[in-house]
Chains A and B, each alone.
Chain A
């Protein structure tokens, strides 16, 4: 199993015209890219804008991608360049991201409401996702939790995790899968349900 097989099979599909395959790549890496960009810009919303731009640049450049490097390495470079350019152009025309507003109560209220709508378009409930995942993690049996933490947080391969947990690779794969399943079950309600939430409305 060579690294990057998964990404490359998606990349090849994109190169033959399958846009859905690119969606999968974006889904996988959007958090990582945003986090990377945030080394250059602190404002998360601005970072997301830059991340969006980086992905679109990558999409347009993908026909020329030859697989000389891993896909993520290539994407990483594009993201950094995009972020750097953004900072440069911003510094040329500095506009405070800090709000330049009158100091009245009304205006603070306004600010608060706008933040709500900033998590846009009804899409994102960051806190809720975080809470749900953390609660689900706490409820996991220890071996499952360890496996997924070693994978996601430490970035270890299945082989490395197998060595560390002293079990076969197949068991590692199974544990990580079952951990995800358990967490995902709760997450699905957040992502898909309106049902779970109407109770809040009373």
Chain B
């Protein structure tokens, strides 16, 4: 928490920061998700004080997505893709755009597991990688995280594989939703392999109706 920086942010928000400092801060603001999140919360505070109807707002979030979807030259990829592998993006989502509902306690979302299933198929040995003959030409615009563990052992992708194999037989809407779920980057800790097939019976329904 850099207080000087935050104090500048507050002044810039009020348009009371000298130009030179504005230029510098603007550059940081566009890259730093946490700083943007704070900036967004300043706006929310103002909205409450003025009594605006829609205090939380998804407008920024949607506008961001629509603009992000437009092709960007490689050099100007949104900050979310720079190196940190997605954490920055989820910070932006949650911090800036609004509150994340408390995750349902029971449901475990399994995507790609490490290390093999307990008592199951064991460790799946990687096949020799198929040469990229089938790979379409790619634009190298995504910065791949450099620190990656040894990949000799295939992550036990069984469950996600099953979902992918199953998706062919779903309705268009279901398939889209299923594949969308697989698009998410998983939370930092997926959990020990023992939990891999879900340690809970029949996940609880969501607490939406608590409101």
| A interface residues with partner B (beta carbon < 8 Å) | 1, 3-7, 9-10, 12-13, 17-24, 26-31, 33-35, 38, 44, 47-48, 51-52, 55-56, 59, 116, 119-126, 128-130, 133-134, 137, 148-149, 151-153, 157-158, 173-174, 176-177, 180-181, 183-184, 187-188, 190-194, 197-198, 200-201
B186 at the A interface (CB under 8 A):
no
**27 A-B pairs whose Cβ atoms sit less than 8 Å apart in the complex:** A1-B15, A6-B15, A19-B67, A20-B79, A22-B67, A23-B96, A26-B64, A27-B40, A27-B96, A28-B39, A30-B59, A31-B46, A31-B55, A33-B59, A116-B211, A122-B100, A123-B97, A124-B56, A133-B55, A157-B16, A174-B7, A176-B10, A181-B6, A184-B42, A187-B41, A191-B37, A192-B37
Q: How far is the CB of A21 from chain B (nearest CB, A)?
A: 4
Provided the pairs A137-B49, A152-B50, A173-B10 are in contact, do residues A191 and B98 lie with their beta carbons within 8 angstroms? yes
B82 to chain A, nearest CB (A): 11
Interface contact B60-A27, CB-CB below 8 Å: yes
Give A21 to B23 CA distance when docked, in angstroms.
11
Partner of A6, one of B17, B27, B210: B17
Q: Interface readout for B91-116 with A: 1 if CB under 8 Å, 0 if not?
A: 10011111111110100000000000
Is A173 touching B49 in the complex (CB atoms < 8 A)? no
- Determine whether the beta carbon of A18 is less than 8 Å from that of B17: no
Chain B interface bracket (under 10, 10 to 19, 20 to 34, 35 or more): 35 or more
Q: Which stretch, B70-78, B137-145, B147-155, B174-182, touches the partner chain A?
A: B70-78
Bound-state CA distance A102–B47 (Å) is: 37
Q: Are A5 and B56 in contact (CB under 8 A)?
A: no
- Give the residue of A1, A119, A194 whose beta carbon is less than 8 angstroms from that of B18: A1
Q: B49–A149 contact, CB under 8 A?
A: yes
User: Is there a chain A Cβ closer than 8 Å to B208's Cβ?
Assistant: yes
A-B complex: 8 closest residue pairs judged by Cβ atoms: A20-B30, A124-B56, A123-B98, A31-B47, A197-B102, A133-B48, A21-B30, A9-B26
A180 touches B42 (CB 8 A): yes
Residue B197 CB within 8 A of the other chain: no
Chain B residue nearest in CB terms to A3: B15
The answer to whether B195 has its CB under 8 Å from any CB of chain A is no
Contact of A124 among B23, B30, B58 (CB under 8 A): B58
B57 sits at the interface (CB 8 A):
yes
Q: Which residues of A contact B57 (CB under 8 A)?
A: 30-31, 34, 48, 124
Given A20-B30, A24-B39, A124-B98, 18 further pairs, Cβ under 8 A: A9-B23, A23-B30, A23-B96, A24-B26, A27-B96, A31-B57, A56-B63, A59-B63, A116-B211, A123-B61, A125-B56, A126-B55, A133-B49, A157-B16, A184-B38, A192-B37, A193-B99, A197-B102
A29 to chain B, nearest CB (A): 8
User: Which chain A residues border B37 with CB–CB below 8 Å?
Assistant: 191-192
Are B68 and A34 within 8 A (Cβ)?
no
Closest to A183 in B: B45
| Contact across chains for B99 and A191 when beta carbons are under 8 A apart | yes
- Does residue B127 face the partner (Cβ distance < 8 Å to A)? no
Complex Cα spacing A121 to B100, Å: 9
Q: Is the CB of B49 within 8 A of A23?
A: no
Contact of B54 among A12, A26, A126, A173 (CB under 8 A): A126
